[in-house]
Amino acid sequence: MTLLSAAYWDGGLIKVISDHKYILFEIGEAATISKYSRNLKKVNWDKYREFLNLKFHTGLPWHDPTSYSEADEHATRITEAIQGALDAVCPEKNSLKRKAVPWWSKELSTMRKATRKAFKKAKSMKNPIEWEAYRDVRKIYEATINYASMAEILQRCRRSTRSKPTDKNPISK
């Protein structure tokens, strides 16, 4: 995906009779949004520290910068070291975007939230009655999902065959 960035904008230079002012802008180069992401929960932080220590002790000078350009150079080297260590222990992976399913509804979203809420309550209270209540809510939720998805499949089959629906389930064989 790309985003357009305004390279230059200005407001209010043109005199107008109205109390609304013109906003002038120029469109710059398109910025791309990465389709890659990292799972920072699975990072081996000890290994990350080892990589950073290795980078800092071997390649980075540690004297105080004497000019702005030298400070920028230090900042760039530190950033590259941090980025390199992160790339080594947590490489970027293609983030998979799931397509929305046509049968999902607001009712299912509400039921999903209720199921999660029942699970969290059962987990925190550690009471067999709460676990039974959670299982009942989950059973209804899963049955509703199965019914909605099967209804969509049947509807799609009816549209594709353009014939009268049969009593038989076209999926089971």
pTM over 0.85: no
Taking only the tens place, the pLDDT of each residue in 18-66 is: 677 666 666 666 555 667 788 888 888 999 989 888 887 776 666 788 8
User: Is 172 within the bounds of a domain?
Assistant: no
Give the number of domains in the chain.
3
User: Is 127 within the bounds of a domain?
Assistant: yes
User: Is 171 within the bounds of a domain?
Assistant: no
Residues in the chain: 173
SS3 letters across the chain: CEEEEEEEEEECCCCCCCCCCCEEEEEEEEEECCCEECCHHHCCHHHHHHHHHHHHHHHCCCCCCCCHHHHHHHHHHHHHHHHHHHHHHCCCEECCCCCCCCCCCHHHHHHHHHHHHHHHHHHHHCCHHHHHHHHHHHHHHHHHHHHHHHHHHHHHHHHHHCCCCCCCCCCCC
Residue numbers of the domain that contains 128: 106-161
Taking only the tens place, the pLDDT of each residue in 91-141 is: 888 776 667 788 888 999 999 999 999 999 999 998 899 999 999 999 999
